[in-house]
Amino acid sequence: MLIILCSACAPTANQILEACQPPEYLSETDLVGIWAYRRFGDVDTLVIREDGLYQQTLEISSIGRYVSEWLPWKLEVNQSGTAYLMLEGFNICMFSGAKDCSSFEQGESAGSVMWDTCAQTSFVAENVAPLVIIPVPKRFVQPPRGFTLHAMQTLTESDIVSYELIEP
């Protein structure tokens, strides 16, 4: 009986695909700003500029601080309409159980096997990590632009990693 109750709580395939649809009006300028993911006092901050460059700052209490170079980013929309923020050289060590954060390296996502919930498929990240642009349903408190950025999960990670806009 417990298994039936838990499986009833899981989102249906249609609910997942509905969440994967980008906001009705989305442009690259909607992504510009400072975004942050916080976990147990650690912070991963993305400064996304209008000129197509971003900078990542990782602040991990047990290790220290890492600031990337300014790296390229772009907005991509796949055939089914899912929107992705593509980050070249993105470091996933903070939320990846598969990586060791003891040494920060640019492009830490390279070679990681990731799971795309929207496409329902796995892929190998090759120095470009996509964040899915997910609109927040109207029944919830709305973030400034109505959406958050969700990191793809590694096959060893189950936490939801959501970046929220902290400064437009």
For residue 81, how many other CB atoms are within 10 A of its CB? Answer: 11
Residue with the bigger pLDDT between 155 and 59: it is: 59
Q: Is residue 1 in some structural domain?
A: no
At residue 10, the 3 state secondary structure works out as coil
Residue 3 binned pLDDT confidence (cut-offs 50, 70, 90): very low
Q: Any bridge partners for residue 46, and if so which?
A: 35, 56
What are the tens digits of pLDDT across the range 114-142?
Answer: 767 777 777 776 677 788 888 888 888 88
Cα 38 vs. chain centroid, distance in angstroms?
Answer: 12
Containing 3, the helix (H) or strand (E) segment is helix 2-9
Question: Domain holding 159: CATH number?
Answer: 2.40.128
Q: How many domains does the chain fold into?
A: 1
Is the residue at 47 inside a domain?
Answer: yes
* pTM of the complete model: 0.79
Q: What is the pLDDT of residue 11?
A: 43
Classify residue 8: in a domain, yes or no.
no
Give the C-alpha separation, 3 to 73, whole Å.
42
Measure the CA–CA gap between 159 and 40, rounded to whole angstroms: 13
76 lies in which domain range? 13-167
pLDDT of residue 70: 97
Question: pLDDT per residue over 81-108, tens digit each?
Answer: 888 899 998 887 766 554 456 565 555 5
Domain-embedded: residue 2: no
- pLDDT-based confidence at residue 7 (cuts at 50, 70, 90): very low
